[in-house]
């Protein structure tokens, strides 16, 4: 098959897929699926749009508001919002703005983050979108609500809207696609296999894989299985950091010493571990609220302090109840071991558990916080 025929085949396949998705959405509505359609020009404050269950182009949750549809893709390190019209045709998010308020079950604090516009290269076939870089990899499905507020939307009937979703990590569609002449530039930019790190082309013609609509390249089909098991892990990182600089760059930003991916504009407690937030240090080249989420835990450089629990720790031990590592009852193996880092303490059943905490201190601090909260 010639390159022109392969390219034509891919275009037809993509058009067909979008058409099937559009027909599925139309059929669902026709069969009585709840709708948030509003009278043109009206968007009540606090409106919660329903989430449609049909498949979506990027594997996200679909909410409907007036003449527009919004697909929200929850990735471990990033949340994206894609726009569509009433016929499910992609719309550009250029000029749109907004914010999302995240509320984690068990925490009263509401954390608000701005959404940044992420442009894509013309002719790439990748849809532009709004995005937020925040680490939600430790949040369980159903344990968080996300309330979106969008403005400057590309619709004269719906310039702004609000909708709420229950958090659940998205599953990106994985599709093997034929290479075209246009992929030469992408292969040159990526250089190495997204899985093995070997030089693209060293094992024959590279394999092109679409994660949603975003292409990545593999050295061979043998690497495809790993991408299919965890597609989000191979998605190019930090796309919001490639957008325009945040307009809030000069405003104070608060972060968590144990979870530096948390960036909020107001002082409070970390939604993951419950620690008090501290002023964030602005690094060179880092935009507020963005790049830290692509490298969770990298700012955790303080060493842990290990000691035996004392009588003053009895209340905290009673609240945690069990070892943060083994799950054994605290006190069942003698005096509990106290581990302290950045002012936050947790308790272990014995010193044999200290090694695991040293390897993942943030994870065990978060686990201890959940134990204290009775989860």
Domain chopping of the chain, boundaries: 3-166, 174-234, 305-372
Rounded-to-integer distance, Cα 148 and Cα 79, Å: 11
Please give the pLDDT value at position 249. 37
Which class is 3-166 in CATH? mainly beta
Residues 245, 232 contacting (CB under 8 angstroms): no
Please give the pLDDT value at position 290. 36
Residues 348, 368 contacting (CB under 8 angstroms): no
Rounded-to-integer distance, Cα 2 and Cα 8, Å: 10
Residue 100, Cβ density class (10 Å: 0-12 exposed, 13-18 middle, ≥19 buried): buried
Which DSSP helix (H) or strand (E) runs through 365?
helix 361-372
Please give the pLDDT value at position 85. 94
Please give the pLDDT value at position 284. 34
Rounded-to-integer distance, Cα 84 and Cα 105, Å: 30
Please give the pLDDT value at position 189. 87
Residues 353, 347 contacting (CB under 8 angstroms): no
Please give the pLDDT value at position 70. 96
Q: What is the token pair recorded at 57? A: 């182009």
Rounded-to-integer distance, Cα 282 and Cα 307, Å: 33
Rounded-to-integer distance, Cα 121 and Cα 239, Å: 12
Q: Which residues in the chain land under pLDDT 50?
A: 1-50, 52, 237-251, 282-302
Beta strand spans in the chain (E): 51-52, 61-65, 68-74, 79-84, 90-91, 97-104, 111-114, 116-118, 129-132, 144-151, 161-166, 174-177, 207-211, 214-218, 254-255, 263-264, 278-279, 305-308, 337-341, 344-348
Q: What angle do CA 283, 243, 46 make, to 5 degrees?
A: 100
3 state SS of 329? strand
């Amino acid at each position: 098959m010639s390159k022109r025929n392969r390219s034509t085949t891919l275009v037809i396949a993509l058009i067909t897929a979008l058409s099937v998705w559009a027909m599925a959405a139309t059929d669902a509505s026709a069969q009585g699926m709840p709708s948030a359609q509003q009278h043109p020009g009206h968007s009540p404050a606090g409106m919660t749009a329903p989430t449609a269950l049909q498949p979506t182009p990027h594997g996200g949750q679909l909410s409907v508001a007036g003449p527009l549809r919004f697909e929200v893709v929850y990735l471990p390190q990033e949340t994206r919002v894609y726009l569509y019209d009433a016929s499910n045709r992609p719309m550009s998010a250029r000029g749109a703005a907004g914010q999302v308020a995240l509320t984690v079950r068990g925490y009263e604090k509401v954390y608000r983050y701005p959404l940044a516009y992420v442009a894509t290269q013309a002719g790439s076939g990748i849809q532009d979108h709004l995005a937020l870089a925040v680490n939600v990899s430790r949040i369980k499905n159903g344990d968080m609500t996300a309330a979106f507020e969008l403005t400057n939307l590309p619709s004269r009937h719906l310039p702004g809207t609000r909708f709420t979703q229950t958090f659940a990590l998205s599953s990106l569609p994985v599709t093997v696609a034929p290479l075209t002449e246009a992929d030469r530039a992408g292969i040159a930019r990526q250089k190495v296999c997204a899985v093995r790190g070997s030089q693209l082309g060293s094992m024959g013609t590279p394999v092109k894989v679409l994660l949603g609509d975003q292409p990545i390249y593999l050295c061979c089909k043998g690497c495809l299985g790993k991408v299919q098991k965890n597609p989000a892990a191979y998605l190019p990182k930090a796309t919001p950091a490639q957008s325009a600089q945040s307009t809030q760059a000069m405003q104070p930003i608060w972060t968590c010493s144990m979870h530096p991916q948390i960036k909020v504009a107001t002082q409070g407690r970390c939604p993951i571990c419950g620690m008090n937030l501290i002023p964030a240090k602005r690094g060179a080249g880092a935009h507020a609220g963005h790049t830290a989420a692509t490298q969770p835990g990298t700012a955790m450089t303080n060493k842990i302090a290990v000691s035996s629990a004392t009588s003053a720790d009895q209340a905290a031990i009673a609240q945690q109840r069990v070892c943060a590592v083994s799950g054994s009852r605290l006190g069942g193996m003698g005096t509990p071991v106290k581990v302290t880092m950045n002012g936050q303490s947790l308790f272990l059943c014995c010193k044999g558990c200290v090694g695991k905490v040293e390897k993942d201190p943030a994870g065990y601090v978060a686990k201890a916080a959940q134990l204290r909260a009775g989860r």
